Structure 1
C-alpha cells in the first residue's frame, strides 16, 4: 500500500503518528511524509531562512530512520490558508503524485491554525484529486483514499475510533523525534514542554486505553465514497 502522511510542520508527524509509520514501513508499505510548511518561524533566535534549512535537514534525518520519502509544499508558517484555491490545487497535486491508499493528517480540531488548515485542505484534496477537470502537473487519481486523522496532541475532544499498538516501534518514534533538535529547544522555550517526555506520557496514556504499553490513536473519516473497509495494514 501507499501511505501518505501530511503534517503542517516538520516534527508534527513524528509527534503524532511516527510509531504507526514505522510499523507500516516494517510491514513493507511505501511511506511518504509530507510537511506542508517549512517550519521557518519556530525559533526565538534563528532567522527564518536559516531555520528553513535546519528543519529540512532534520526532517530528512528523521525520515531516513524508516526509509520514508520526504516532501514539502514550501508554505511559510502561518501563511497556509485553507480557502485559497491555489493552495487547494497544490494539495490536489500532492495526492495525485502520491496516489495513496491511505492518508493520515491532522484532526479538524487540532490546536493551531496551520494544523487545522492542513486538515481541511487534505479533506478537499483527497476527493478533488479524482476529478480530471482540475488540471495539475500529475494526472487525476483513480480513487478517493481512506482518510485518517491523527491525535491532536493533548487528546482533548479527540476520541480514537481505533488504536495502533506501537510498543515495538516506540523507540523508533522517539529516535525520529529526537532528530528535530531545533524544536526540542523551541517547544521548551515557547510552550514550557519537554516534548520527549510529553510524547512518552501521552503514548502510555493511549496505551492504557488500548490495552498495551504504548499506542497511537486515530479517527477514521467515515463518509460516502470513502473506502471505509480500508484499515491500517498493521
Structure 2
C-alpha cells in the first residue's frame, strides 16, 4: 500500500512521437532507464541514442583502442533489446568531456538531425543523491543537453549548422533527466523490466570488469531494487523516474 505521506510522482507525458537520448557513455542509459524506453518503443514511439564518447576509458584492463569498438558493439546490441536501432557516437574523449560551446554544438546538431519532442539525459548535478560524487562527464553532458535543447531552435547560435543543412528545430517540449535525486515524473517499469535486465547484460565486458558477482544477479538486484524503491512514489508500481524540465512554451 502506498504511504500517503510520500509525495507521489506524476506519469510522464505521452503525447509525443520522437525522443532522443543523449548520454556520455555506453551503459549510462541501461543503468535504470531502459525499462521506460522499452515501453515507449512498444507503444510505437521512436527513440534514438546519441553517445558522446565510446566509453574507451571505462575498462582498466583494456587499452582504449581495444575498448572503444567493444563497448560500441555492446551498446548497439543493448539498444536493440529495447527496440532502438539508431545509435550514434560523437567521439568526444572519454573521461575528459569538456562542457562548452563545442559540446553544445554537437548535441544541438544531433537534436536538429533527429527532431525530437522529448530529450532524455542523465543526472547533471554534482552528486548522486547528495552521497556519491558524480563524474565530470555526466555533469558536462547533462548540462550541455539541457542547453542544447534551446540552442537547436536558435538559428543564430551555431549558424554553421544551418550552413551544413541542419535547419533549426524548436520542437523540443521537454528534457527528462534520468537518475535525478529530485524526480518529478515516472514510467511504469513492469512491462519493460525483463528487457531492461537483458539490455544491461549486453554490457557484459564492462560488468565483468566492474564486479566479481554473477552478472545477471548483479543486474537484477540493481535494476529491480531501484525500480521497487521508486515505486513507493508511483502507486506501488515499479518505476523509472525522471526530473522533467518543460520548455517554457511547451
Normalised by the size of structure 1, how large is the TM-score? 0.87
C-alpha distance 149-161 of structure 1, shift in aligned 2 (>3 A): same
Matched residue, 1:221: 245
Matched residue, 1:141: 169
Distance 1:67 1:20 in 2: 11
**Number of matched pairs:** 217
Q: 2:89 aligns with which of 67, 72, 85?
A: 72
Shift of 1:195: 4.5
Shift of 1:108: 2.3
C-alpha distance 199-66 of structure 1, shift in aligned 2 (>3 A): closer
Alpha-carbon displacement from aligned partner over 1:67-86 (angstroms, at most 9, x marks no partner): 31111111121121112x22
Structure whose residues are more often helix by fraction = 1
Q: 2:61 aligns with which of 38, 45, 57?
A: 45
- C-alpha contact 2:172 2:247 (8 A) present in aligned 1: no
Shift of 1:40: 0.3
Residue 177 (1) aligns with residue 200 (2): yes
Long gaps (5+) in structure 2:
1-16, 129-133
Q: RMSD of the TM alignment (CA)?
A: 1.8
Matched residue, 1:91: 107
Pairs within 5 Å for 1:1-234: 1-68=17-84, 69-83=86-100, 85-109=101-125, 110=128, 111-133=134-156, 134=158, 135-136=160-161, 137=164, 138-152=166-180, 158-188=181-211, 194-222=218-246, 224-225=248-249, 227=250
- C-alpha contact 1:187 1:195 (8 A) present in aligned 2: no
Instruction: Give the match's secondary structure for 2:95.
Output: coil
- C-alpha contact 2:104 2:151 (8 A) present in aligned 1: no
Instruction: Give the match's secondary structure for 1:13.
Output: coil
- C-alpha contact 2:115 2:172 (8 A) present in aligned 1: no
Long gaps (5+) in structure 1:
153-157, 228-234
